[in-house]
């Protein structure tokens, strides 16, 4: 076999290698694959214990809010892992007497998870431990959920499928599905 006979297979191999390399580069604007919840496990457990919230629920909220992307910024201005609005985070920071808080602090996963978990705990308390109502409020705002309840447009006992806002209904269902998945996969 002479050198000329080796050219086509070598060219094919080079073409295949280049194609595989290009296929692994995300296209412009294409999101990176989500980070693992395990990267933030210690922070989730720490703040969930501090504010007495189930860590599996916190992880499910993070998954649905940001897909564990600490650099996520929503069109509405919600920031980071737990997608907290700076105004909401500032209220939590004041309640926690956190000195030196600025909206830029929300890019720090530890602070984002702390303030988001505190806010979730506040909602759970506000809605008497009702996780469905608290999750609806996390997504749509507590004022809107209270309004739905006062106008008898939605009560938790009437079911998730009766939540007036479709986006919130889907959000609550997805968070609860992920919450159950995390609970079942937990070694505890």
- Establish whether 32 is a catalytic residue: no
**What is the pTM for the complete model shown?**
0.79
Domains contained in the chain, CATH given: 36-185 (1.10.530.10)
Residue of 89, 87, 139 lying closest to 112 (CA atoms): 89
Q: Which residues pair with 79 in a beta bridge?
A: 73, 84
- 156: closest CA among 177, 120, 127, 181? 127
**pLDDT digit string (tens) for the chain, length 188 residues:** 555 554 555 444 444 444 444 444 445 555 554 556 678 999 999 999 999 999 999 999 999 999 999 999 999 999 999 999 999 999 999 999 999 999 999 999 999 999 999 999 999 999 999 999 999 999 999 999 999 988 877 777 778 888 999 999 999 999 999 999 999 987 76
Catalytic residue among 63, 65, 76, 177: 65
Q: How far is CA 179 from CA 85, 122, 175, in A?
A: 23, 19, 6
Predicted local distance difference test score (pLDDT) of residue 32: 52
Q: What is the DSSP letter of 104?
A: G
Predicted pLDDT at 152: 79
């Amino acid at each position: 076999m002479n050198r000329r006979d080796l050219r086509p297979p070598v060219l094919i191999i080079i073409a295949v290698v280049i194609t595989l390399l290009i296929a692994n580069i995300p296209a412009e604007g294409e999101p990176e694959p989500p980070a693992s919840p395990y990267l933030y496990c210690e922070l989730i457990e720490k703040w969930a214990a501090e504010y007495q919230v189930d860590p599996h629920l916190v992880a499910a909220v993070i998954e649905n809010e940001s897909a564990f992307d600490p650099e996520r910024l929503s069109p509405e201005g919600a920031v980071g892992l737990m997608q907290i609005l700076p105004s909401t985070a500032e209220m939590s920071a004041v309640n926690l007497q956190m000195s030196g808080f600025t909206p830029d602090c929300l890019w720090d996963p530890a602070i984002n998870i702390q303030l988001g978990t505190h806010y979730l705990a506040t909602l759970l308390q506000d809605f008497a431990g009702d996780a469905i109502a608290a999750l609806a409020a996390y997504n749509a705002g507590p004022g809107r959920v209270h309004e739905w309840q006062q106008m008898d447009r939605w009560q938790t006992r009437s079911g998730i499928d009766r939540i007036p806002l479709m986006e919130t209904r889907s959000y609550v269902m997805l968070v609860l599905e992920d919450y159950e998945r995390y609970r079942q996969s937990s070694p505890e």
